Structure 1
Amino acid sequence: MVRFLTFITLVLGLAAPAMAQQKANTLFGAMRAGSSGNTGAIGTYAKGCIDGAVELPETGPTWQAMRLSRNRNWGHPDLVAFLQRLSVTATRQGWAGLYIGDMGQPRGGPMTSGHQSHQMGLDADVWMLPPKRLNLSRSERENLSSISVRTDDQTRVNANWTPAHYNIMKAAALDPAIDRIFVAAAVKVEMCKTAKRSDKKWLQKIRPLYGHNFHFHVRLKCPTGSAVCQTQSPTVSELSKGGDGCDDSLNWWVTTYLDQLRNPPKPKPGQKPAKPKRGSRDYTMEDLPRQCQNVLASR
């Protein structure tokens, strides 16, 4: 490890032109432990890193981290604390606790597979599967799967959805550390139906997003002391304008959006295909905030 870190330092400090061609996800994916700097989230959720990340213990009294082979149970101390207190909330709903999916890498940054975000230690996936026990072996954590809480046509929740899911996500949304929570559109629709009319403002933090039917994705605000952390824009407060997100914009997700997925528009004659967007797995170190070079080189 010492030799590898020395190599990284030399590359960062002496070979900037070569570094421009090196994929950032390869470099960050090779890190097995957090950096030694002062704790701070750096950059944005989809283009950043984290200094001084801490590891969520693999097993606790009310949680277990899943898919340990990925080494993605790292994050800002505020994220770890949030997940621990949310797992206690889950026990009040009759669950044994929570199964925690991907958080971030030891130093954040782009990943070699999966997420485009989860880069600065402020994102985590929480499984929809209610834990029955919290003594799963490493092998069981690799092979156990979560459950989907929406129908195959993506328009409604299915029989796996329970009041406990609603109450746990509501508690998460009411936590002052949370910026937003991503869920399948059908889940947001159901939560809007369930919430009392006089108590729906918190629902603005529940944001519909494709692919979030096996887990819900929590995202924290920029923590105090993270001077170069950029909160997602527009912010939830800017989006809400006093609303709850249970309006026509939500209906779009289960009507127009689904139609577009099932029947993508055909290109017009002679029209060139749209150029694919450059994803985080294509980033080099030059794409990330300059502070991330120090995070990568730190012992």
Structure 2
Amino acid sequence: MPALPQAAKQLFGAMPGPSPQAPEPFGSYSRGCVAGAVELPETGPTWQAMRLSRNRNWGHPDTIAFLERLSRAAVTEAGWNGLYIGDISQPRGGPMLTGHASHQSGLDADIWMLPPGRLDLTVQEREELSSISVRTEDQRNINGNWTPGHMAVLRAAAEDPAVARIFVAAAVKQEMCRAATGDRSWLRKVRPWWGHNFHFHVRLNCPEGATFCEDQAPIPAGTGCDETLAWWTSDEALIPDPNAPPPEPRPDLTLAQLPAQCSQVLTAQ
């Protein structure tokens, strides 16, 4: 019996640093890689990168610039000290060893819901500190951790032209729809998705001129504050069907299933 191809996550997860190429994302957010990634500095004037042991504070230069920009907005718009930044991408992108299907092309980033108390955390403290949930356990409402500052940071992210969409817990989107006043068009970029109660996930547009980068399908028209949003906190969405078959396990991606350029990104020295 022939050996199975090695999982791409093992290959990309083993790379300690970026490829020495011009910055360029290849493929899609969930099936791609990134050449010439740059590192978000571990600590800056308005941010700290968390969980440094994962080596996931790498991204396309546009992503790093956006995170620095948003962290400054967290100070001016929300009155926070800045932001705690979670996973961005591996040094050469690609499938991650654990935890994400996306974050492969250097254009995704997770931002903690925990407003920073300090920006001088040690490496060990960044491994041990946890974020906070802003959603109730039943997934239907926000909890007492949600503040106007969260709303201000998310609005600043959504109004940034580099941003394609932002994933949050459905209860967060519902609260934002309830509370937003004035121009509400920015709410369109804020999308409900499972599990985003400890962090929000920002996805950037493909950079201009990135020929081999694949954007996600366009967001539907409107703010998203409609009956489709109500479904996410309904019984139908939240109460499992006891008769439903278990989901099929998703096989690991192989290098051959990624864009052809990812082989060169992986081997470039």
* TM-score category, normalised to shorter length: over 0.9
Which structure 2 residues correspond to residues 1-299 of structure 1 after superposition, within 5 A? 21-92=5-76, 93-196=78-181, 198-233=182-217, 235-236=218-219, 239-240=220-221, 243-259=222-238, 262-267=239-244, 273=245, 276=248, 278-279=250-251, 282-299=252-269
Deviates more, 1:139-148 or 1:224-233: 224-233
Could you list the per-position Cα deviations for residues 77-118 of structure 1 after superposition, in whole angstroms to 9, with x for gaps in the alignment?
Answer: 000000001000111222111000000000000011000000
* Number of matched pairs: 267
Question: In 2, Cα distance between the equivalents of 1:284 and 1:202?
Answer: 37
Question: In 2, Cα distance between the equivalents of 1:128 and 1:247?
Answer: 25
Question: In 2, Cα distance between the equivalents of 1:103 and 1:122?
Answer: 8
Question: In 2, Cα distance between the equivalents of 1:285 and 1:206?
Answer: 32
Question: In 1, Cα distance between the equivalents of 2:109 and 2:256?
Answer: 26
User: What secondary structure is seen at the aligned counterpart in 2 of 1:251?
Assistant: helix
Higher helix share: 1
Question: In 2, Cα distance between the equivalents of 1:75 and 1:110?
Answer: 14
Question: In 1, Cα distance between the equivalents of 2:235 and 2:138?
Answer: 13
Question: In 1, Cα distance between the equivalents of 2:79 and 2:117?
Answer: 10
Indicate the percent of aligned positions where both proteins have the same amino acid: 59
TM norm structure 1: 0.86
Aligned-pair CA distance for 1:37: 1.1
Question: In 2, Cα distance between the equivalents of 1:29 and 1:157?
Answer: 35
Alignment-mate amino acid for residue 12 of structure 2: F
Alignment-mate amino acid for residue 248 of structure 2: P
Question: In 1, Cα distance between the equivalents of 2:190 and 2:79?
Answer: 22
Q: CA RMSD in A?
A: 1.4
Aligned-pair CA distance for 1:141: 0.1
Larger radius of gyration: 1
Query: Which consecutive residues of structure 2, in runs of 5 or more, have no partner in the other structure?
Result: none
Query: Which consecutive residues of structure 1, in runs of 5 or more, have no partner in the other structure?
Result: 1-16, 268-272
Question: In 2, Cα distance between the equivalents of 1:221 and 1:205?
Answer: 12
Question: In 1, Cα distance between the equivalents of 2:191 and 2:96?
Answer: 23
Question: In 2, Cα distance between the equivalents of 1:67 and 1:22?
Answer: 26
Alignment-mate amino acid for residue 249 of structure 1: T
Instruction: Answer whether contact 1:222 1:230 (CA < 8 A) is retained.
Output: yes
Alignment-mate amino acid for residue 205 of structure 1: K
